Homo-oligomer: A and B are copies of this chain.
Amino acid sequence: MNKRATLKDVAREAGVTAATVSYVVNNTPGQTVRPETRDRVLAAVAKLNYIPNTHAQTLRSSCIPCVGVVIRKNLAVPRFAQMVFGIQERLEQEGHNALLLGNAVDGRGFTDYVGAYLAGRVSGIIFIGTENMGPDKKSLELLQAERAPLVVFNCQTEGDFYSTVDLDYRGGARLITSRVLARRCRRVLYFRPDADTPQERLREQGVRDAVEGRSDVELIVRSAPIALDSIEVWDARYYAGDTDEGLRLNEVFMESAREALALVEDGDAVIASWSTWTHYFRKAEPTRDIVYAELANNGESWVASDLYTRMPNYDAGVACADEILSLVNGGACCARTIKLANVFEARQP
């Protein structure tokens, strides 16, 4: 809460003017400073723990070392936290920082992140969507009108005035399924949520891709009673703990897992859309000899399914950061799709 040291303070201390201090501190190209003067300035800088005020710099240079990060859902959900960590680290490499922004709407219809952009607080926005939702229409329009650098993650949409980063759900599902088939399972049960999102559609397609033309393999697709609104409940545990609703969902889910298991025999395989589902299956019928695969592990590696794709969340974050930095520097918009090649396969028993 002290007043922090300013250019002037340093200048006074060193017996020079502000301009000279600026030259020294910034190593201004094409400016030469007498070594002795430079030393005096540096000594003063060190003595006063001087660091240039970022707001003043920004005001002058209009270059803002800060990127806004918005999460449609929230940071408590592990996959998003992992992403933001990737964003943070990549930004820091370039001397930028991540500013967490909300998406509440104010009286004027501006979301927090649009407001922050308009207020000049961030040089661009990374929007981390949910399975089925990206930025709202008005925010998109405003950002487009301002020609604001924008990266939208996980929305499986096309945008021509913003960049997109998405995961290759289809390819990942195809990959895991083919690995499952390599284990000579005759029957495969694909167990997915009952939510009609682009992501789940792509996953199912991927599974079907891999089974396509394999007349020796039977594919059964079943849905767990998890629709769009219960996804919220599923995720709420991370900040709200075990709510009644959550526990109820658990029970319903367990029941459907049991029913699904009745459709397979020992030696068959079960592929689950989401991580930790293996846990429910094993709990439902501990003694079954089934190959379990999961399409979306997020670091819950203790719930060892036999096979899983690890979601490249950290890398996705890095990609988003890369992309926004490129846009901020005047780069062209771009659509990236990140492969889900990070497969873990337990040794055969």
Query: Which residues does A use to contact B, with CB under 8 Å?
Result: 1-2, 4-5, 46, 49-56, 58-59, 66, 74-76, 78, 80-82, 84-86, 88-89, 92, 97-102, 104, 108, 110, 112, 115-116, 118-121, 142, 145-149, 237-242, 246, 250, 276, 279-280, 286, 299-303, 310, 314, 330, 342, 344
Q: Say how many copies of this protein the assembly contains.
A: 2
List, in ascending order, chain B residues with CB within 8 A of A86's CB.
239
List, in ascending order, chain B residues with CB within 8 A of A50's CB.
118
| 12 pairs, CB–CB < 8 Å, chain A vs chain B | A49-B110, A51-B110, A51-B115, A54-B116, A66-B99, A75-B75, A78-B78, A86-B239, A97-B99, A100-B100, A237-B299, A241-B344
CA distance A300 to B250 in the complex (A): 13
CA distance A255 to B102 in the complex (A): 45
In the complex, what's the smallest C-beta–C-beta distance from A123 to chain B, in angstroms?
9
Partner of A84, one of B75, B101, B116, B303: B75
Do B280 and A149 touch (CB < 8 A)? no
In the complex, what's the smallest C-beta–C-beta distance from A289 to chain B, in angstroms?
14
Do A146 and B279 touch (CB < 8 A)? no
CA distance A84 to B239 in the complex (A): 11
Do A88 and B59 touch (CB < 8 A)? no
CA distance A74 to B51 in the complex (A): 26
Q: Nearest residue in B to A330 (C-beta to C-beta)?
A: B1
Do A108 and B52 touch (CB < 8 A)? no
Do A301 and B237 touch (CB < 8 A)? yes
CA distance A330 to B1 in the complex (A): 9
Partner of A301, one of B5, B84, B239, B246: B246
Q: Nearest residue in B to A315 (C-beta to C-beta)?
A: B239
List, in ascending order, chain B residues with CB within 8 A of A59's CB.
53, 55-56, 59
List, in ascending order, chain B residues with CB within 8 A of A49's CB.
110, 118, 142, 145-146
Do A85 and B239 touch (CB < 8 A)? yes
Partner of A76, one of B81, B97, B286: B81
Do B52 and A55 touch (CB < 8 A)? no
3 closest A-B pairs by beta carbon, nearest first, are A81-B81, A51-B118, A55-B55
